[in-house]
Chains A and B, each alone.
Chain A
Amino acid sequence: MDNRELIPHLFRTEFRKITSVLCKIFGIDHIEIAEDIASETFLSALETWTFNGIPANPTAWLYNVAKNKAKTYLQRNHVFKNKIASQLKQSATEAYEIEIDLSDKNITDSQLQMLFAICHPSIPKEAQVGLALRILCGFGINEIADAFLTNKETINKRLFRAREKLRTEKVKIEFPGETEINKRLETVLTTIYLLFSEGYYSESQDTVLRTDLCVEAMRLTQLLIDNEQTNLPSVNALLSLMCFHASRFDARKNENGEIVLYQDQDESLWNAELITKGMFYLHRASYGNILSTYHLEASIAYWHTIKEDSHEKWENILQLYNQLLQVAYSPIAALNRTYVLSKANSKQEAIIEAEKLSLPDNHFYFTLLGELYTGIDNNKAKQNFQKALSLAKTQTDRNTIQKKIDTI
């Protein structure tokens, strides 16, 4: 790995660790100070390593510099020293003598606690994802803006408000209590899944960035699985789900960045390793008596890893969608269920059911109707695809629909 690759790589892996550990010492009120010290550490690395070469152990070098910077900060900043250092959790007589624990255990614990702090129910979802990207995934403001297809200012404002909220709500960087963990975990999993979806469905043209988002979401889930208290069935189910989805990452877009529909995908591009991993975690998720939506979605995704059409496959997927919709309705699940109904039962039955779904603003709804009418009533199929075309928001979607119209 040369210098150009090493720093971004280390930034991705070490920024969050340094920030989490420092923030835990300083308290959530001073989250920016922790972020700033972590950023400055990397700037120092860039300046020093460029001239002196890369040290033998770059990570240790970073930790050392971060520690010194934190100590210097505590010594120099009188306001901080008087007002905050006195409240520091560790009972150091002098603030600058404070021990900054960068052991593996403390790093892992701090990151997990930070995850729970960021995914606090009082913080808006979008802001949670933004904060998680910034602090736990080491994403720069530009990258976050790109992932959300918005500008730097918007992201900065969003993060600023989120940090304010952490302060005013006095969110603590700690593990929730035994009784609270399940409820809090729900929010954490939602945020991680959003993070994943952001990467998976993002319109951003930056493939590396989109893959990174997915990988980071999976890494955070792995962090929860490696921790005994949070190694719960729903967490395993979520990781399984993400593995199955990610296995199709390379197959679902062509070289022009256009979406390749499931039935047209080249299955040799599916990642077998991730499919096996998904099955492993789905198996590990199968205990206890809580059937989370992640279990259902992971099972649906599992059946999709079998390319071959069979009645068994579509019937199983249909029943899983029937169950999923009863506990968690979403328009996309309703549309998928109706498509699957056409496979498991018949197109005619699916058309009757599809006409009952009132989703007049959803272009996927009309794409589905077009799909179902194709071969049964091609005029109606065309009308529906035209309607979908007029509602589609992105060029990628319009291209996909236009192709459908052209083939009728």
Chain B
Amino acid sequence: MDEFALIMRHEDGKKVASPEQIQAWMKQTMDWIGGIAAQNKFVSGTGLPFDDAWVITTKNSKSIVTNGPFGEIKETIGGFIIVKADSVDEAVEFAKNCPVLQGEGNSMEVRKIARKD
């Protein structure tokens, strides 16, 4: 069994949602993760809040630190979870059910975790 990272991408992290909407997304995400955990396929995961988010780039050999992953980069990572799956297809099935996909333009990325051995 392999491990896969399911990465949640938001099209535009700056979009402001209502507290009710955020609450609904949170619940759906928690239920989604709970459903994977109920199949004993959950490994770990975390959300990535936008507070204290910085982007470091290099220009003319100098580091440039900018506030937040916003600005020129429109797409942001909202969080990720790592799951166990028998195949990449199973991991993709998990990803398909992620509530983040309800948002137009949002996406999920599935990446296999490099084996340690």
Contacts and interface: CB of A to CB of B under 8 A. Distances in A.
A and B co-occur in one complex: yes
Contacts of A141: none
A325 interface: yes
Nearest to A335: B38
Contacts of B33: 322, 326
Contact of A321 (B34, B40, B42): B34
Contact of B37 (A315, A318, A329): A329
A318 B35 contact: no
Nearest to B29: A322
A98 B38 CA distance: 58
A333 B34 CA distance: 11
B2 interface: no
A322 B30 contact: yes
B42 A326 contact: yes
Interface in B56-108: none
Given A353-B35, A356-B35, A329 B40 contact: yes
Interface in A250-279: none
A325 B42 contact: yes
Interface stretch (A9-17, A77-85, A296-304, A337-345): A337-345
Residue picked from B27, B31, B37, B38, most chain A C-beta under 10 Å: B38
B18 interface: no
A338 B38 contact: yes
A291 interface: no
A192 to B, nearest CB: 25
Residue picked from A315, A326, A345, A356, most chain B C-beta under 10 Å: A326
B45 to A, nearest CB: 8
Contacts of B37: 322, 325-326, 329, 334
Interface string B20-34: 000000010011011
Contact of B31 (A326, A341, A357): A341
Contact size class for B?
Answer: 10 to 19
A345 B34 CA distance: 13
B69 to A, nearest CB: 26
A337 B31 CA distance: 10
B71 to A, nearest CB: 34
Contacts of A318: 31, 34
Contacts of A341: 31
Nearest to B94: A356
A305 interface: no
B39 A357 contact: yes
A222 interface: no
Nearest to B45: A326
A217 B31 CA distance: 34
Nearest 9 A-B pairs (CB), nearest first? A322-B34, A325-B37, A334-B38, A329-B40, A326-B37, A322-B30, A337-B38, A353-B35, A325-B38
Interface of B: 27, 30-31, 33-35, 37-40, 42
Given A333-B38, A358-B39, 11 more contacts: A322-B37, A325-B34, A325-B37, A325-B38, A334-B38, A334-B39, A334-B40, A337-B34, A337-B38, A338-B38, A357-B39
17 contacts: A321-B34, A322-B33, A322-B37, A325-B34, A325-B37, A326-B34, A326-B37, A334-B37, A334-B39, A334-B40, A337-B34, A341-B31, A345-B31, A353-B35, A353-B38, A356-B39, A357-B38
